Amino acid sequence: MTKFNELEKGGIFGKGIANPYGKFFEGDTFLKALATSPDEKVSVGTVTFEPGARNNWHIHHDGYQILLVTDGEGWYQEEGKAAQSLKQGDVIVTKDGIKHWHGAKADSWFEHIAITTGTPEWLEPVSDEEYSKL
């Protein structure tokens, strides 16, 4: 039994569509675009992860990303550091150039708002071996 199954139907801002960046993710994830800043530099959207789903390691170049966890439980990890457990209300700021990944826990749906600027560089997946150790 997984936790926060109600997210399968979408949280506060809705579930949106199958993530158009899905090839850079493991598992099923969903993207609801919420807004773009008038200067078109900052995008705001909600990402919903099924249990076990996560993105590849990646870097935000010439920008940053702010994550606001709206529901469920997940993980955030920067290269060379321990993974951090995330729950509703947690906030993460990823600086320019930092290699990292984020996603759901194996037994829980997970949802966060992402405030993003810059250009992502998508890298290798988080292996099942790495992920299963969490």
- Which residues contribute to the site for a copy of itself (CB under 8 A)? 12-14, 34-39, 42, 44, 64, 66, 68, 70-71, 88-89, 91, 93, 95-96, 113, 115, 117
Nearer to a copy of itself by Cβ, of 26 and 71: the residue is 71
Q: Which is nearer to a copy of itself, 81 or 95 (CB)?
A: 95
Closest distance to a copy of itself from the beta carbon of 7 (Å)? 13
Least distance (Å) from a copy of itself to the CB of residue 105?
A: 18
Report, in Å, the least distance between residue 14 CB and a copy of itself: 6
Q: For residues 93 and 128, which CB has a smaller minimum distance to a copy of itself in the complex?
A: 93
Least CB distance from residue 116 to a copy of itself, whole Å?
11
Task: Determine the Cα–Cα distance for residues 124 and 131; give it in Å rounded to an integer.
Answer: 13
Distance CA 61, CA 64 (A): 7
Question: Which one, 39 or 129, has the nearer CB to a copy of itself?
Answer: 39
Q: How far apart are CA 125 and CA 134, in angstroms?
A: 15
Cβ of residue 12: shortest distance to a copy of itself, in angstroms? 6
Compute the distance between CA of residue 24 and CA of residue 54 in angstroms, rounded to an integer.
Answer: 9
Pick between residue 83 and residue 113 the one whose CB is nearest to a copy of itself.
Answer: 113
Map 48-95 to HEC letters. EECCCCEECCEEEEEEEEEEEEEEEEEEEEECCCCCEEEECCCEEEEC
Contact 64, 118 (CB under 8 A): yes
Answer for the pair 111, 71: CB distance below 8 angstroms, yes or no.
yes
